[in-house]
Amino acid sequence: MTDRIEIYDTTLRDGSQGEGVNFSVEDKCRVAEQLDAFGVDFIEGGWPGSNPRDMAFFERARGLKLTHARVAAFGATRRHTLTCDDDPSIQSLLKAETPVVTIFGKSWLLHVTDALRLSPEENLEIIEDTVRYLSVRVACLVYDAEHFFDGYKTDPEYALETLRAAAAGSPYRIVLCDTNGGSLPETVARVMREVIEQIDVPLGIHCHNDGELAVANTLAAVSAGAVHVQGTINGYGERCGNANLCAVIPNLELKLGRVVLGPERLKRLRETSRFVSEIANLSVDSRAAFVGDSAFAHKGGVHVSAVERNPMTYEHIAPETVGNRRRILVSDLAGRANLLAKARELGVELNDEQRVLDELKRLEHNGYEFEAAEASFELLVSKLRGAHRPYFELLGFRVIDEHRGALMPMSEATVKVRVGNRVEHTAASGNGPVNALDNALRCALQTFYPSLAEMHLVDYKVRVITSNLSGSASLVRVLICSGDKRAQWGTVGVSANIVEASWRALVDSVEYKLARDGVAPIFGEQDNDSPSSGSESPSESPSESLKEAIS
C-alpha cells in the first residue's frame, strides 16, 4: 500500500451533470487551469462523443499550459454491434488527443441483461476488447467499473469477471464505482480488500452521495487500499452529487496522513472551492466543511473564550492549512471574550466593553443580526465610542414602483440629502426599489465622495422576523452585501417597512466604505456640533423624515 493518493477530478464531466451546473467551453478552460494550479493529477474534461461543446473543450485544452494535471476524455465501451475501429464514440475519444482516456463498462448483471440486453459473455468480451484497443493507443487508460458495488452484492463472481476482463487489456487503473451512491463505508472497505486480493491492477474509487456517505465511502476505500480517488469540487454531480474533493482531500492528507497535494497547495483549497462555485454560478455553502465561512466560526461565549486560549479546544485543524480563517461571531449569545476577539479581528478599540455588549444584545433582541453584518457591527462600536461622524444628513426619500401592462415593473427612487452646507436632490431608476434607492443615494453622494462610484451591491436578503406584530406588519431584517474592487462587507437594517430596513443597511454600507477608505466627512458650520439623522444608530427609532415623501 502506498501513501501517495492520486486525485482524479471529474467536475467538468460528472460535476456538470448536476442540476443547475452548466459550464461553457471558456468556463471549462478556466476551471481546468485552476485545478492544475491546485494540484490534482487528472482533469476529466467531458465526453467528446456526446456533444460538440466537450469536443470544443478538448481542442482548446491542447493549448492550455498545464504544469501538473493531465486531461482525460471520458466515454463508454464499444457498442456490441460495432468494432472499436467502427464505433464513432471510441474514435471520438482518440480524436480528443488527450493523454488520458477513461471508459466505463457494466459490472452489474441487471444492467447487462436489462439495459444493454446482452449475454454476460458478450459484455465481458466488449470490456476486454475496448480496454485492449485503447490502452495501446493512449498514454494512460482508466477503466471505471460502473455500479460495481451493486453488482458485487448480487453476483460477486460475475462482478469480478468484469474486472478480470478489463485487467486483461492492461489498463493503468481500475476504478470501483458506487454509481447509485447507496453503499455503506464498511461494505466499501470490505469489498475493496476482497477485490485487491483478486485483481493485480491498482484500484481507485468513485462514489456518489445519494446516502450522504460519498466522502466516508471514499476514505474507507483508501484505508482499504485504493490509490486513486475520483470526485468533484464542492461535490457537484448528478442527483445528490459526487464525493466532495474539498472534504476528501484534507481528510486524506491531514487525518489519514496520505500524500495528496502537499501543505502549500492544500492552502488553496478554499480558494479553489470558491472559484469553481463562482464559475458554476452557484452560491457557496457557508456550512461546508473545511472551506465554508462557518467552518471555523465561533459564536458561543464559552467556545470563544476557550479558542482564544487554545484553538484546539474547538477546532479540529488550523483553518489556515486549508486557506480558511477563524471567525468570531457577535450575537446575543456573545460574552466578553467574543467582543474582545472580534474587536481584535477588526482592529477596533473598545473602551466600554459592557456597554457594547448590552447594546448588542438589546439590538439582536429587537431583530438585528450582526453575524453576517460585520460592517454594521464595526460602525455600531464606533458610534458607541463617540468616534463616528456621519457623512451626510437625510432630508427624505421616496420610492415608486410602477407596472405598465405587460412591461416589466419600473422602480424609481428620489433622495434628498444634506452634505455640509449643500443639499443634493437626485433621482435614479433600478431593477427593484432597493436597487433604485441604492443608485439614487450613491448618485447624490458621489459629487462629494467620488470613491462611491466603485461601490456596488453584491447581494440582498430579506427575512421576516417573528414578532408581536402579525402578517404583513411583521418586522423585516435586511442583510446587504456590498463590495468594491478590493473587498466585500455586510450590513443590516431592521424595520416594519422593508424599504426603510433596506435604507438603514444601505447607509451603513456607504458609511463603512467611506470610513474604511479613510475619507473625511464634509461638514458645514451648522453640522459641526451635532450628528446628522442620515446615519442614526440602529438603536434609535425610525425618524419621521424617513417616512415623509419629498415634496
| Residue 175 is assigned to a structural domain of this protein | yes
pLDDT category of residue 331 using cuts at 50, 70 and 90: low
Mind listing the pLDDT tens digit for each residue in 458-499?
888 888 876 554 455 578 889 888 989 888 888 999 998 889
| Residue 372 is assigned to a structural domain of this protein | no
Residue 220 predicted with pLDDT over 80:
yes
Indicate the average pLDDT of the chain. Answer: 87
Kindly state whether residues 165 and 23 are assigned to the same domain.
yes
Kindly state whether residues 487 and 415 are assigned to the same domain.
yes
| Residue 406 is assigned to a structural domain of this protein | yes
CA dist 520 and 452 (Å) reads 13
Kindly state whether residues 109 and 35 are assigned to the same domain.
yes
- The dihedral region occupied by 405, where left means phi > 0, alpha psi between -120 and 50, and beta the remainder, is left
pLDDT category of residue 545 using cuts at 50, 70 and 90: very low
pLDDT category of residue 330 using cuts at 50, 70 and 90: low
The three-class DSSP label of residue 143 is strand
Kindly state whether residues 269 and 310 are assigned to the same domain.
no
Residue 342 predicted with pLDDT over 80:
no
pLDDT category of residue 223 using cuts at 50, 70 and 90: very high
Instruction: Please name every residue paired with 298 in a beta bridge, in sequence order, or none if there are none.
Output: 328
Q: Which is higher by pLDDT, 158 or 286?
A: 158
Q: What CATH number corresponds to the domain at position 173?
A: 3.20.20.70
Domain end: 252, 280, 308, which one?
A: 280
The closest alpha carbon to 220, from 186, 256, 182, belongs to: 186
| Residue 271 is assigned to a structural domain of this protein | yes
Kindly state whether residues 208 and 87 are assigned to the same domain.
yes
pLDDT category of residue 371 using cuts at 50, 70 and 90: low
Question: According to the model, what pLDDT value does residue 534 have?
Answer: 41
Q: Which is higher by pLDDT, 166 or 301?
A: 166
8 Å CB contact between 97 and 138: no
CA distances from 68 to 41, 71, 371 (A): 7, 10, 40
CA distances from 424 to 24, 255, 392, 518 (A): 45, 60, 10, 23
Domain end: 229, 250, 280, which one?
A: 280
Per-residue three-class SS string for 470-515:
CHHHCCEEEEEEEECCCCEEEEEEEECCHHHHHHHHHHHHHHHHHH
Question: According to the model, what pLDDT value does residue 466 have?
Answer: 61
Mean pLDDT calculated for residue range 48-61:
92
Mind listing the pLDDT tens digit for each residue in 115-134?
899 999 999 999 999 999 99
Kindly state whether residues 312 and 349 are assigned to the same domain.
yes
Q: Mean pLDDT lowest for which of 3-17, 109-123, 296-310?
A: 296-310
Residue 527 predicted with pLDDT over 50:
no
The closest alpha carbon to 10, from 49, 63, 54, belongs to: 54
Question: According to the model, what pLDDT value does residue 381 have?
Answer: 83
8 Å CB contact between 209 and 242: yes
Mind listing the pLDDT tens digit for each residue in 251-284?
999 999 999 999 999 999 999 998 898 888 887 7
Kindly state whether residues 319 and 193 are assigned to the same domain.
no
Kindly state whether residues 265 and 323 are assigned to the same domain.
no
Question: According to the model, what pLDDT value does residue 541 have?
Answer: 36
Domain end: 280, 312, 331, which one?
A: 280
Q: Mean pLDDT lowest for which of 65-74, 207-216, 335-344?
A: 335-344
What does the block give as the cell for 299? 459564536
Kindly state whether residues 259 and 155 are assigned to the same domain.
yes
Kindly state whether residues 131 and 237 are assigned to the same domain.
yes
| Residue 534 is assigned to a structural domain of this protein | yes
Give the distance, in angstroms, between the CA of residue 420 and the centroid of all CA atoms in the same chain: 43
Q: What CATH number corresponds to the domain at position 476?
A: 3.30.160.270
Mean pLDDT calculated for residue range 329-341:
59
For 121, counting Cβ atoms within 10 Å of its Cβ (0-12 exposed, 13-18 middle, 19+ buried), the class is exposed
8 Å CB contact between 322 and 255: no
Kindly state the greatest CA–CA separation across the chain: 94
Residue with cell 485552476: 34
Mind listing the pLDDT tens digit for each residue in 85-96?
999 999 999 999
Of all residues in the chain, the percent with pLDDT exceeding 70 is 87
CA distances from 372 to 6, 220, 327, 501 (A): 38, 36, 11, 16
Give the distance, in angstroms, between the CA of residue 336 and the centroid of all CA atoms in the same chain: 32
CA dist 113 and 127 (Å) reads 15
How many domains does the chain fold into? 3
Query: 125-143: string of b/e by CB count within 10 Å (b at 16+)?
Result: ebbbbbbbbbbeebebbbb
| Sign, Cα dihedral of 306, 307, 308, 310 | positive
Residue 141 predicted with pLDDT over 80:
yes
Kindly state whether residues 359 and 504 are assigned to the same domain.
no
pLDDT category of residue 373 using cuts at 50, 70 and 90: confident
CA dist 364 and 492 (Å) reads 11
Q: Residue 138 gets which letter from DSSP?
A: S
Q: Which is higher by pLDDT, 215 or 499?
A: 215
Question: According to the model, what pLDDT value does residue 530 have?
Answer: 38
Question: According to the model, what pLDDT value does residue 341 have?
Answer: 64
Residue 176 predicted with pLDDT over 70:
yes
Question: According to the model, what pLDDT value does residue 508 have?
Answer: 94
DSSP string covering 325-340? --EE--STT--HHHHH
Kindly state whether residues 70 and 113 are assigned to the same domain.
yes
The closest alpha carbon to 506, from 410, 434, 429, belongs to: 434
Residue with cell 485543524: 317
Q: Residue 244 gets which letter from DSSP?
A: B
Of all residues in the chain, the percent with pLDDT exceeding 90 is 63
| Residue 380 is assigned to a structural domain of this protein | no
Provide the residue range defining the domain that includes 323.
Answer: 297-365
Residue 248 predicted with pLDDT over 70:
yes
| Residue 95 is assigned to a structural domain of this protein | yes
Torsion of CA 277, 275, 482, 407, to 10 degrees: -50
Strand extents, DSSP E, 77-158: 100-106, 140-146
Mind listing the pLDDT tens digit for each residue in 401-448?
887 766 677 889 999 999 999 999 999 998 888 889 989 999 999 989
Give the distance, in angstroms, between the CA of residue 428 and the centroid of all CA atoms in the same chain: 33
* Total residues found in the chain within this entry: 551
| Residue 112 is assigned to a structural domain of this protein | yes
CA dist 368 and 465 (Å) reads 9
Mean pLDDT calculated for residue range 345-357:
67
What does the block give as the cell for 464? 421576516
CA dist 53 and 55 (Å) reads 5
- The dihedral region occupied by 335, where left means phi > 0, alpha psi between -120 and 50, and beta the remainder, is beta
